[in-house]
């Protein structure tokens, strides 16, 4: 099966939906890597290279949005969420402006770029902001559609895209719904809730667990904020144990969001798969294995969660 990085999907989607003349794309001198160069070639009059000045880029995006434009501000996740946090907070989220942040190269799978570029805290940062919507697509099909959903949504959106090519997990007729989780497989023994590229690992883990006689429910949470509380509460009630999987710190990300829902609705054992340490330079596959972001570790944690069921 062909693989495609979701950052490639981001660039392609900007071109597909960029015919809308209200759409403007800004980039912090990384258009070849963020793939916004596709939009630049198609609509050069609505593309602005802001240089290596992410904080200023977010302020300019806010200004343009205040005039009625739909503005995409693009950079690596580390710089978009980290360096420009104050401007996102005060100039975009607080006034609830129509700025869409396209954050690429998120997570440990950035690989050789190392710890300084492997953003593992961006979801946690963005979750603290009122008005902010957070989307973390799992594949090309979902990434393409999430850009359109971001355009249709009035208000700030943070979209998280990866550098590593991934296989499609969704069918061609898939329909993205903002704020709605997707049940990819049914099961009553344990629920695996995943986001981003970890959805593929969750599906592999489901097959491995089935070989051991364990039926796992797999849920793709592409919208981390607002999160689909109904699908999570239902899974907690019906399976009695949950494992969450994310390419992010275990603090403040998907796992934390799921635990908040579970504690308020149906308390059950929850195991969070992520990391609590900085990344480092290495091959993406090697790093994913070292940091436990694998189907094998999901299986291990699923069995532990089941053993703690009431």
The dihedral sign for the CA sequence 248, 252, 253, 255: positive
54 is a catalytic site residue: yes
Could you tell me if residue 111 is left (phi over 0), alpha (psi between -120 and 50 degrees) or otherwise beta? left
The dihedral sign for the CA sequence 129, 67, 29, 86: negative
Strands 99-104 and 157-160: parallel
- Angle, helix 254-265 to helix 229-239, in steps of 10 degrees: 70
Q: Which of 37, 54, 246, 247 is catalytic?
A: 54
Distance (Å, rounded) from C-alpha 277 to C-alpha 300? Answer: 20
Burial of 110 (0-12, 13-18, 19+ CB in 10 A): buried
Q: Identify the three-state secondary structure at position 128.
A: coil
Q: Identify the three-state secondary structure at position 285.
A: helix
Where do we find the tokens 């998907």? 254
Q: Spell out where the chain has E strands.
A: 3-4, 23-27, 47-49, 70-76, 99-104, 133-135, 157-160, 166-167, 182-185, 190-194, 216-220, 223-225, 242-249, 270-275
DSSP state of 170: S
List active site positions: 54
């Amino acid at each position: 099966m062909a693989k495609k990085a979701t950052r490639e999907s981001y660039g392609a989607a900007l071109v597909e939906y960029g015919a809308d003349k209200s759409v403007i794309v800004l980039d912090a001198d990384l258009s070849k890597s963020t793939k916004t160069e596709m939009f630049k070639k198609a609509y050069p009059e609505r593309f602005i290279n802001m240089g290596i000045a992410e904080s200023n880029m977010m302020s300019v995006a806010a200004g343009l949005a205040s005039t009625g434009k739909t503005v995409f501000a693009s950079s690596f996740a580390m710089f978009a969420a980290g360096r420009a946090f104050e401007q996102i907070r005060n100039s975009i989220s607080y006034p609830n402006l129509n700025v869409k942040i396209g954050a690429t190269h998120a997570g440990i799978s950035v690989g050789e770029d190392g710890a300084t570029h492997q953003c593992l805290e961006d979801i946690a940062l963005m979750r603290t902001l009122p008005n902010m919507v957070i989307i973390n697509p799992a594949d090309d099909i979902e990434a393409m559609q999430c850009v359109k959903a971001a355009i249709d949504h009035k208000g700030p959106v943070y979209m998280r895209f990866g550098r590593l090519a991934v296989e499609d997990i969704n069918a061609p007729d898939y329909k993205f719904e903002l704020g709605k989780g997707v049940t990819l497989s049914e099961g009553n023994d344990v629920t695996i809730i995943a986001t981003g590229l970890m959805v593929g690992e969750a599906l592999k883990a489901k097959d491995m667990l089935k070989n051991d006689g364990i039926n796992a429910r797999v849920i793709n949470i592409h919208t981390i904020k607002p999160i689909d509380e109904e699908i999570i509460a239902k899974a907690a009630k019906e399976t009695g144990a949950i494992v969450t999987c994310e390419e992010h710190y275990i603090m403040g990300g998907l796992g934390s969001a799921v635990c908040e829902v579970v504690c308020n609705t149906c308390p059950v054992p929850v195991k969070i798969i992520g990391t609590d340490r900085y990344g480092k330079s290495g091959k993406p596959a090697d790093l994913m294995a070292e940091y436990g972001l694998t189907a094998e570790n999901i299986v291990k944690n699923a069995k532990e969660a089941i053993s703690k069921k009431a």
